[in-house]
Amino acid sequence: MDGRFVDWDDAKIHVLTHALHYATAVFEGIRCYSTDRGPAVFRLKDHVNRLFNSAKIYTMKIPYAMEELCKAVKDTIKVNKIKECYIRPIVYYAYGEMGLNPLKNPVSVAIAVWPWGSYLGEEGLKKGVRCKISSWVRVDTRILPPLAKSSANYLNSVLAKLEAINCGYDEAILLNMNGYVAEGPGENIFIVKDEVLITPPRSSGVLYGFTMDSVMELARGFSIQVEEREIIRDEVLLADEAFFTGTAAELTPIREVDGRIIGSGSIGPITEKLQEKFFQVVRGKDPKYVDWLDFV
């Protein structure tokens, strides 16, 4: 926290922290995987760069250089003596002065690491999850910047997630203001139709994800056609396969949407191929993609 290691139970903030009241925080989700060469952080520099871009959108000045934060991430993993973990760097306006204007508050930075399995569960990874098209709409660029990974945006995600759970589903799928498919509450979404891999573009209001980007690169390596284009709800219901990607969710198949079985109702062949390759890559089993790994 702010340049020094703090015991887990002592990692505390003031009750009047600006970000607690006004969601003035940006953050990242990163994973570290165990490899034969030791722990390795997946696409660390890309994630930290996005953290700085999120802060730029919100005119927050991060009091450290990108290289310092990359080193701090790896140092936090080392001091915890952990081989695999989820990593949460967060930049937030701390305690200073109450009121909507955050500029009189200091900017604080914290990094936490902890063991965390796949966000939608190991069973979800193997068998797929059941999803509901949410009645909540993905935030629009005229409302909040979707390319910033900000705490404020995730209130939208929380509402969608709660609705899905309360209706008996595992996860939500959000449409945008124009009725096109955007993303999950914390994941990007892909569908497969006639062996073409399709995902919504940035213009659909998605947070551009590095797991998403990696999966598209892996697909091209298999000579799978990839399209970034708008997707209507009907196309999801009629897809041959569908899956989520994200740091937390990794690559999780979707087996059902609004009571419609997707494809065969189990993990599809393209999804399975990409999922298997993804886990090979993050665990250092494919030298072609070793540049995506930052060894601790």
C-alpha 40/C-alpha 62 separation (Å) is: 25
Taking alpha carbons only, the member of 180, 184, 191, 179 closest to residue 236 is 191
Contacts of 285 by beta carbon, 8 Å cutoff, 6+ apart: 35
User: Is the CB of residue 284 less than 8 Å from the CB of residue 83?
Assistant: no
Q: What is the DSSP letter of 63?
A: S
C-alpha 145/C-alpha 65 separation (Å) is: 23
Structure tokens at 211: 């797991």
- Other Cβ atoms closer than 10 A to 176: 21
Active site residue 149: yes
Residue 285, Ramachandran bin (φ over 0: left; ψ between -120 and 50: alpha; else beta): alpha
Contacts of 145 by beta carbon, 8 Å cutoff, 6+ apart: 57, 58
Spot the catalytic one: 74, 149, 161, 277. 149
CA angle 147, 4, 86 (to 5 degrees): 45
Contacts of 138 by beta carbon, 8 Å cutoff, 6+ apart: 146, 156, 174, 175, 176, 177, 182, 183, 205, 206
Evaluated on CA atoms 113, 116, 118, 119, the torsion sign reads negative
C-alpha 151/C-alpha 102 separation (Å) is: 15
Backbone angles phi, psi at 131, to 5 degrees: -125, 155
Known catalytic residues are: 149
